[in-house]
Structure 1
Amino acid sequence: MTRAPSPALVFGVAVTGIAIFSSMDAVMKGLVLQLGAFDTLFWRTLAGIVLTGAIYLPARKGWPTRSVMRVHLIRGGVSSVMAVTFFWGLARVPMAQAIALAFIAPLLALFGAALVLKERIPPRAIAASLVAFAGVGVIMLGQATAAPDPDRFRGTVAVLISAICYAYNIVLMRQQALVAGPSEVAFFQSVIVGGLFAIVAPFIAHVPDAHHAPAILLAAALATVSLLILAWAYARGEANYLAPTEYTGFIWASIWGWVVFREPVATYTLAGAALIITGCLIAARRRAVENVEAAF
């Protein structure tokens, strides 16, 4: 019999997936500033179909059943709205602020998992998310001291809409991972999102210059790898346990925002990050203790 991976390993893999996904955000922000949100997403998704298809199609054992395809379609539709609103907003606000705003998603996902997946919400999951969410509050307090900017406000609203979609997406990620393998999840995610974008592409899409191709391919590769890794983790851990790993994306957003876009990291941001990390550690440590106790 194959031994199930430890909760700590699953948690660590999910954190790695978020790190890769956050790195993709930095590449995407650069592209969005040059090409626009839709063109960037459309061409990245097309590249993603090629990459995920090369992994999934040669090894597939059959096509998904109707019920499984329904889950793929729902998540693909939600992901389309989530991606467009997030990257449109990301071009208008600093990376760290955008990720901080998106952190309402894991908190909402805890209750979404209970409603959709019938998962029990243990007290330590609520405590961990509330501690991390307090960190987001500290960051937003710092952002409130900045001068008002109408374009940044619109970007903030777009990111908040994306965060609501992402909360549902986290629940769907767990639901999808229970009925499909990582390569299938990544492939159909790309195909469905690409298909939805293709409906409007003839009216608003533009062919980018060739020099943008390496960045588009890099974004597609990072998105594919993160999808595979997160699908593996969510197939082995409950959504309410893994949701707090989303908070670690803030650390990478702060680093890439400063390194690539020269976006400063304020003291409020650092204080909030400390609370975010604390929340994640509470979630990981408490779950590990519960599993040790269950063995005796």
Structure 2
Amino acid sequence: MQPLRGITYKLIAVMCFIVMQSLVKWVSKDIPAGEAVFFRSLFALPVIVAWLAMRGDLRTGLKVARPMDHVWRGFIGTCAMGMMFGGLAFLPLPEVTALTYAMPLLVVVFAAMFLDERVGLFRIGAVALGLTGVMIVLAPRVTSLGGETVKTMEAVGAVIVLLGAVCGALAQIFIRKMVQTEEVSAIVFWFSCTSTLMALLTVPFGWAMPTPVQAVALVACGVIGGVGQIFLTSSYRFADASLVAPFDYASMLFAILIGYFIFAEVPTGQMLFGASLIVFAGLIIILRERQLGIRRAKARQAKTPHN
């Protein structure tokens, strides 16, 4: 294990995803979310294929044990990406980032519902705290429903992003089940394939012809997203998940800086307070997962017969 290398790769991945989202936000006034998903998925494919070939995993990346699992994971994951991209058109980048932090909290809930994982009072309390933070972030948007058109669209954007977080959490549940029968390389490769095809279904709802500059930005979204996916996957090869997971929250710092200097967005105190509660709850859950992992490892060692 190389912890420092793992952390560095995770930070690079986080930065890649924020830059990708920033590019999507920049073109979002003219380019529909479904079209952005298409470019993001299509142009990530060459990067992923090259990476799999370099690792010698290309053959494994093409093997599928349960095809329909990939279809459903692709559908849910594409919905999550499309909703997040859609929300970027209406909300400041830091606010979208804060709302997507609800995803790991919802994973805990869905794991208990669909995977029969035991969730103690400690993690239930952390989830409740995090969801309180989500409500604090959402409150100014929800109360503006029915008011000015701009405010109403911001409220709709917030709801869309939250629904995207729900879909993202469900996608994580799918992945937890899929890794029992599928290779990680196959999950990554076929998601890009299925999301590319599913994004094409949004063509009847209206796509726009991008300008040359917008086309470059959209292609860059795919390439940068693919690079981010590679660094994210690689980070877990060099460090424990419990060590690198907290660095997901560095995305808030990146989002605030990019939002301020590129989009002239200044986060409100209420949004920052709500985001802080969500981050704190997420860190509590990560710490708890690490403790439970250590206990499970010790239990397995105790059960292993020694000669």
How far apart in 2 are the matches of 1:202 and 1:170? 29
The answer to which of 123-132 and 155-164 deviates more is: 123-132
Cα separation, partners in 2 of 1:289 and 1:190, compared to 1, 3 Å: closer
Change (3 A) 1:282 1:153: closer
Report % sequence identity.
23
Q: What letter is aligned with 1:136?
A: V
Letter aligned with residue 92 of structure 1:
F
Contact 1:106 1:243 in 2 (8 A): no
**Partners of 1:39 and 1:203 in 2: how far apart?**
10
Contact kept? 1:177, 1:234, Cα under 8 Å: no
Kindly tell me the number of residue pairs found equivalent between the two proteins.
290
Give the deviation of 1:141 after TM superposition.
4.1
Q: Matches of 2:125 and 2:235 in 1, distance apart?
A: 22
Task: Provide TM-score, normalisation by structure 1.
Answer: 0.77
Is structure 2 residue 98 aligned with structure 1 residue 100? yes
| Contact 1:13-1:229 within 8 A present in 2 as well | yes
Alignment of 1:79-228 (within 5 A): 79-141=77-139, 148=148, 149-201=151-203, 204-228=206-230
* Structure 2 unpaired stretches of 5+: 303-307
Change (3 A) 1:18 1:286: same
Does 1:277 find its partner at 2:301? no
Partner of 1:65: 64
Gaps of at least 5 residues in structure 1 are: none
Q: Does the 8 A contact of 1:93 with 1:155 survive in 2? A: yes
Please name the residue that 1:49 is paired with: 45
CA contact (8 A) 1:173 1:231 kept: no
Deviation at 1:143, TM superposition (A): 5.1
Deviations 1:215-267 (A, max 9, x none): 2233213322333455567899899x998876654444333222221111112
Contact 1:83 1:162 in 2 (8 A): yes
Secondary structure (helix, strand or coil) at the match of 1:93 reads coil
The structure number with the bigger radius of gyration is 2
Length-normalised TM-score, structure 2:
0.75
Contact 1:22–1:253, Cα closer than 8 Å, also in 2: yes
Deviation at 1:15, TM superposition (A): 6.9
User: Taking structure 1 as reference, are residues 107 and 251 closer, same or farther at Cα in structure 2, changes over 3 Å only?
Assistant: same
The 3-state SS of whatever aligns with 1:156 is helix
Q: Distance in 1 between matches of 2:119 and 2:256?
A: 30
